[in-house]
Amino acid sequence: MSTMLQSLSLGWQTDLIFARFDGLVIERADCLVLRTPTNPLFYWGNCLVLPESPRDADLAHWLTRFDEEVGQHTRESGHVAIGFDTRSPQAALPGWLAAGFEVFGTAQLSLSAPQLREPAKTLAGAFRFAEVDLSDPAQRRVAVTLQCESNDSGFEPVNYRQHRERQMARYAAMQAAGLGAWFGIWHGDELVADCGLFRHGALGRFQHVGTHPSWRRRGLCSALIQGVSRHGLAGMGLQRLVMCADPDDVAIGIYEHVGFQREGRYWGAQRRPAHDVRLA
């Protein structure tokens, strides 16, 4: 195993759970290349990961490298996604920002069994926590619809639905392979919150935690994370659970209230194509 793969931060390390399942992880002398041939619309499944932060003056170089390794295979998307595996604060990249990139940090959090806290209140009787059977096309469609209706990042809706459909097909295949499962909070027959948990050895990684906008601020996300964490630690025999989240989003406080603890950040720069800019 290369030095870079051995030293990857927790976020990138657990991202590889998915890339290795049905994608490509290619080691180059200057970076890691991640590709997901089944879903070229997935920005961070089709990206470069650099071992350290780039210089602002290196933008043209990395645009060329991205196109050589990833872009030529993802014309359907047209995005650029370049991650930096650095633990230190990210230096300003004014040239990248001027070229249309969003540069952001993602918080890494983890939890082991002794950290897990009991919820402040129990789930109301009208709601139930249960797995979402991704082998059932109808349940998978319900999950995709929830995710599209919770599209807080403002991605163009048609391509975003196609992206989520492809992602959920991937998770269904991983569920069938015994690598994890999808979970939800149901209100009758309506799925109102959902997320996934998938494993590599004793390490588990959460995926796509979301609550429908009409059902937020009712404690549903806390109940979901609590229930999935218990299942992961007891039912799946995992020793450590990993969550990666926007450090400025209110949801991170929910994860910390359940018992997750921050372990620094990892960084990335993405440029959306014109057809996928934030909705007005």
Range of the domain at 100: 3-107+267-274
Q: Specify whether 238 is located in the same domain as 129.
A: yes
Q: Specify whether 88 is located in the same domain as 127.
A: no
Does residue 233 form part of some domain? yes
Does residue 279 form part of some domain? no
Q: What does the pLDDT look like over 118-142, one tens digit per residue?
A: 877 788 889 999 999 999 999 999 9
Q: What does the pLDDT look like over 176-189, one tens digit per residue?
A: 999 999 999 999 99
Q: Specify whether 133 is located in the same domain as 201.
A: yes
The pLDDT assigned to 92 comes to 82
Q: Specify whether 35 is located in the same domain as 168.
A: no
Does residue 23 form part of some domain? yes
**Minimum mean pLDDT among 2-16, 54-68, 123-137, 214-228: which range?**
2-16
The pLDDT assigned to 210 comes to 94
The pLDDT assigned to 276 comes to 82
Q: Specify whether 194 is located in the same domain as 91.
A: no
279, pLDDT greater than 50? no
Q: What does the pLDDT look like over 156-167, one tens digit per residue?
A: 888 899 999 999
Burial class (CB in 10 A: 0-12, 13-18, 19+), 119: middle
Q: Assess contact for 126 and 275: CB atoms under 8 A.
A: no
Does residue 238 form part of some domain? yes
Q: What does the pLDDT look like over 239-268, one tens digit per residue?
A: 999 999 999 988 999 999 999 999 989 999
Q: Specify whether 33 is located in the same domain as 131.
A: no
Q: Specify whether 81 is located in the same domain as 174.
A: no
Of 43, 58, 61, nearest to 93 by C-alpha is: 58
Q: Specify whether 85 is located in the same domain as 176.
A: no
Q: Specify whether 231 is located in the same domain as 102.
A: no
Q: Specify whether 118 is located in the same domain as 256.
A: yes
Number of domains in the chain: 2
Does residue 203 form part of some domain? yes
Q: Number of H helices and number of E strands within the chain?
A: 8, 11
Does residue 280 form part of some domain? no
Of 69, 46, 65, 62, nearest to 101 by C-alpha is: 62
Does residue 198 form part of some domain? yes
- pLDDT band, very low/low/confident/very high, at 97 (cuts 50, 70, 90): very high
278, pLDDT greater than 60? no
b/e burial code for range 63-82 (CB count within 10 A of at least 16 → b): bebbeebbbeebeebbbbbb
User: What six digits make up the tokens of 228?
Assistant: 């999935």
Q: Specify whether 129 is located in the same domain as 100.
A: no
Q: How many CB atoms are closer than 10 A to CB 62?
A: 19
Does residue 141 form part of some domain? yes
Q: Specify whether 37 is located in the same domain as 137.
A: no
